[in-house]
């Protein structure tokens, strides 16, 4: 790791703990900063706070008092999940105190270049594909960010010839000043996290931050099927590499006559790709661009694409049983994600859906339910799903209490050749702590058949 002096002797406030705040606080102390930590969780329940106090740091727990800023902090390192509307954050901004996320620190200390991936959908799949292709080709990688470990922690051991492959959220990207990935990817932009950002314009602006410090020696890989992204990319100083699933793009990645091409070189026929779904072709094209620019061989790319069947909880193939194929798409916590999953299958689908009721309906999914022969609905939105199924002309509908019951009912409704798909279009918090827990229970049920 680079021995930097940017924080030496500086009075730094780490706002919010969790994994990233804990890692940032420990690193900042190592870099010579005078660290104060402020976390909303009460001290009695806060093991991370107790650890930091034992390390000699000043820790304030239970609330975020604005008057804390009177202590003369020169930098605030904010947990990405804390919005800028939080009183202490907005007060810091008004006082002109720089507010950063730990990704900024990771960029300052890393000896290895970054491949940064952001976007509304497809980030995790794209990040995982890049990492798998790099490893298959024998290149050193460090997986970081939302999909891996805390960036500022794992980059400390990264070597100059490694690559830091990092999934980046809009929350993280709002808090960068000098962070500069050598290769940046924006998979797509749709309306998302508007409760945090307030507007799509602010959300998109956070995403495009990924390229704000890039130069002509860096690369910005962009979805050329979205005019909005093409317009946003015009402000970048990086070399733009477009990708498209619908048209041939100069100097980019595209599909022509059923074959994936990178800058004119044939890579693989789409029929030989194991990962299902047209939406995943976008992720594949972005990943191919990133690894080809990093010197990965075409043979390594082919080997991964012929075997990679998906990221856990994201249209993940679980198993085939008695002629039925089971897929876990528990990460589909909104209708946009469920649309993508439904378009991936031509076979008759038994759809397991439902979850937390956020007040929205599912009518925008009606055009995508044509291959669905039966619906098993669960959770707070079960009745809404029953109504949606009726509107779609789906006559076979069952209501389930929990996932075990839902899988049993789906299996009973299925026939040889069917796909049984968990793609809830809802968050999990009405019945499960996380979408991962919901998906894991589905997988366990399926594996017990």
Residue 186 belongs to domain with CATH number: 3.40.1190.10
Among 307, 326, 346, residue at a domain's last position: 307
Predicted local confidence at residue 310, as pLDDT: 79
Query: What is the mean pLDDT of the segment spanning 256-274?
Result: 97
pLDDT digits (tens, 9 = 90+) for 44-66: 989 999 999 988 899 999 999 99
Query: Do 266 and 325 lie in a common domain?
Result: no
Give the E-state strand segments of 136-176 in sequence order. 141-145, 163-167
pTM, entire model = 0.80
Tell me, what CATH number does 420's domain have?
Answer: 3.90.190.20
CA neighbor of 134 nearest in space, from 154, 148, 152, 115: 115
pLDDT value at 195 more than 70: no
Predicted local confidence at residue 198, as pLDDT: 60
Average pLDDT, rounded, for the chain: 93
Q: Which band of pLDDT confidence, cut at 50, 70 and 90, is reported for residue 346?
A: confident
Domain count for the chain:
3
Give the E-state strand segments of 155-258 in sequence order. 163-167, 183-186, 219-223, 239-244, 253-256
Tokens 């794209």 correspond to: 126
Give the whole-angstrom CA distance, residue 43 versus residue 238. 46
- Name the most confidently modeled range: 139-148, 183-192, 390-399: 390-399
Query: Do 216 and 358 lie in a common domain?
Result: no
- Which position has the higher pLDDT, 120 or 403? 403
pLDDT digits (tens, 9 = 90+) for 25-46: 999 999 999 999 999 999 998 9
For 269-344, where are the alpha helices, taking DSSP H only?
278-293, 298-307, 335-342
Query: Do 279 and 182 lie in a common domain?
Result: yes
Binding site per annotation, positions for ATP:
119-125
Query: Do 276 and 361 lie in a common domain?
Result: no
pLDDT value at 12 more than 90: yes
Give the whole-angstrom CA distance, residue 35 versus residue 19. 16
CB 282 within 8 A of CB 188: yes
Half-sphere exposure of 137 (CA within 13 A, CB side): 22
Query: What is the mean pLDDT of the segment spanning 176-189?
Result: 95
Among 307, 332, 363, residue at a domain's last position: 307
Answer whether residue 246 is part of any domain.
Answer: yes
Which residues are CB-contacts of 125 (< 8 A; sequence separation ≥ 6)?
A: 275, 280, 283, 310, 311, 314
CA neighbor of 443 nearest in space, from 349, 345, 352: 352
Query: What is the mean pLDDT of the segment spanning 176-204?
Result: 79
Query: Do 128 and 30 lie in a common domain?
Result: no
Let me know the angle formed at the C-alpha of 181 by 38 and 183, rounded to the nearest 5 degrees: 145
pLDDT value at 353 more than 60: yes
Check residue 431 and report its DSSP letter: T
Answer whether residue 158 is part of any domain.
Answer: yes
Answer whether residue 2 is part of any domain.
Answer: no
CB 198 within 8 A of CB 190: no
Answer whether residue 216 is part of any domain.
Answer: yes
pLDDT value at 191 more than 60: no
Report the range of poorest mean pLDDT among 94-98, 307-311, 387-391.
Answer: 307-311
pLDDT value at 78 more than 60: yes
Binding site per annotation, positions:
119-125
Query: What is the mean pLDDT of the segment spanning 243-267?
Result: 97
Enclosing H/E stretch for 50: helix 47-54
Predicted local confidence at residue 55, as pLDDT: 86
pLDDT digits (tens, 9 = 90+) for 229-239: 999 999 999 99
Query: Do 150 and 267 lie in a common domain?
Result: yes
Instruction: Let me know how many helices (H) and strands (E) the chain has, helices first.
Output: 16, 20
Query: Do 295 and 352 lie in a common domain?
Result: no
CB 340 within 8 A of CB 374: no
Query: Do 200 and 338 lie in a common domain?
Result: no
pLDDT value at 193 more than 70: no
CA neighbor of 177 nearest in space, from 34, 7, 33: 7
Query: Do 359 and 398 lie in a common domain?
Result: yes
Number of Cβ within 10 Å of residue 405's Cβ equals 15
Query: What is the mean pLDDT of the segment spanning 188-215?
Result: 76
Predicted local confidence at residue 121, as pLDDT: 82
Give me the percent of the chain exceeding a pLDDT of 90: 80
Query: What is the mean pLDDT of the segment spanning 239-266?
Result: 97
Predicted local confidence at residue 98, as pLDDT: 97
For residue 95, what are the domain limits?
A: 11-100
Which residues are CB-contacts of 248 (< 8 A; sequence separation ≥ 6)?
A: 254, 256, 261
Query: Do 177 and 277 lie in a common domain?
Result: yes
Q: Which band of pLDDT confidence, cut at 50, 70 and 90, is reported for residue 197?
A: low
Give me the percent of the chain exceeding a pLDDT of 70: 98
CA neighbor of 363 nearest in space, from 387, 396, 394: 387
pLDDT digits (tens, 9 = 90+) for 415-436: 999 999 999 999 999 999 999 9
Cα torsion 277, 193, 153, 50: sign: negative
Predicted local confidence at residue 194, as pLDDT: 53
Query: Do 224 and 297 lie in a common domain?
Result: yes
Predicted local confidence at residue 122, as pLDDT: 86
Query: Do 256 and 117 lie in a common domain?
Result: yes
Query: What is the mean pLDDT of the segment spanning 204-222?
Result: 93
Number of Cβ within 10 Å of residue 4's Cβ equals 12
Largest CA distance in the chain: 69
Q: Which band of pLDDT confidence, cut at 50, 70 and 90, is reported for residue 161?
A: very high
How far, in Å, are 142, 154, 223, 280 from residue 283 at the CA level? Answer: 20, 25, 10, 5
Answer whether residue 200 is part of any domain.
Answer: yes
Among 288, 307, 326, residue at a domain's last position: 307
| DSSP three-state, residue 313 | coil
For residue 333, the Cα-to-chain-centroid distance in whole angstroms is 13
pLDDT value at 196 more than 70: no
Answer whether residue 3 is part of any domain.
Answer: no
pLDDT value at 373 more than 80: yes
Answer whether residue 269 is part of any domain.
Answer: yes
Answer whether residue 6 is part of any domain.
Answer: no
Predicted local confidence at residue 313, as pLDDT: 86
């Amino acid at each position: 790791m680079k021995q930097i002096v940017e924080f030496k002797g500086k009075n730094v406030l780490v706002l919010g703990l969790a994994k990233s705040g804990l890692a940032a606080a420990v690193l900042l102390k190592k870099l010579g900063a005078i660290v104060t930590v402020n976390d909303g969780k009460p001290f009695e329940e806060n093991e991370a706070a107790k650890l930091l106090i034992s390390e000699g740091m000043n820790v304030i727990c239970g609330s975020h008092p604005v008057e804390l800023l009177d202590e003369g902090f020169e930098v605030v390192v904010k947990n990405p999940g804390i919005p800028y509307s939080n009183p202490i954050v907005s007060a810091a901004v008004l006082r002109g105190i720089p507010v950063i996320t730990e990704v900024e620190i990771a960029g300052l200390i890393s000896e290895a270049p970054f491949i940064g991936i952001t976007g509304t959908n497809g980030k995790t799949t794209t990040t995982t594909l890049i990492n798998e292709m790099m490893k298959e080709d024998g290149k050193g990688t460090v997986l970081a960010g939302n999909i891996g470990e805390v960036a500022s922690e794992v980059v400390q051991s990264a070597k100059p010839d490694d690559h830091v492959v990092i999934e980046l959220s809009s929350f993280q990207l709002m808090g960068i000043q000098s962070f500069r990935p050598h290769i940046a990817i924006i998979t797509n932009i749709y309306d998302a996290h508007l409760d945090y950002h307030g507007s799509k314009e602010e959300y998109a602006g956070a995403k495009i931050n990924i390229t704000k410090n890039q130069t002509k020696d860096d690369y910005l890989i962009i979805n050329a099927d979205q005019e909005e992204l093409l317009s946003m990319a015009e402000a970048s100083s990086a070399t733009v590499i477009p990708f498209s699933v619908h048209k041939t793009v100069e100097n980019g990645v595209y599909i022509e006559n059923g074959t994936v091409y990178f800058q004119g070189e044939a890579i693989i026929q789409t029929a030989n790709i194991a990962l299902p779904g047209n939406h995943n072709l976008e992720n594949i094209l972005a990943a191919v661009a990133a690894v080809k620019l990093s010197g990965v061989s075409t043979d390594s790319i082919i080997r991964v694409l012929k075997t990679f069947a998906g990221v856990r909880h994201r249209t993940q193939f679980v198993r085939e049983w008695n002629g039925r194929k089971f897929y876990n798409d528990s990460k589909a916590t909104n209708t946009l994600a469920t649309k993508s999953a439904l378009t991936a299958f031509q076979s008759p689908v038994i759809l397991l859906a439902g979850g937390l009721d956020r007040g929205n309906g599912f009518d925008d999914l009606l055009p995508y339910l044509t291959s669905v022969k039966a619906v098993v609905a669960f959770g707070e939105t079960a009745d809404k799903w029953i109504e949606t199924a009726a509107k779609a002309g789906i006559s076979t509908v069952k209501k389930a209490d929990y996932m075990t019951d839902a899988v049993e009912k789906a299996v009973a409704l299925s026939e040889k050749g069917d796909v049984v798909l968990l793609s809830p279009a809802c968050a999990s918090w009405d019945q499960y702590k996380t979408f991962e827990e919901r998906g894991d229970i589905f997988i366990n049920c399926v594996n017990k058949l």
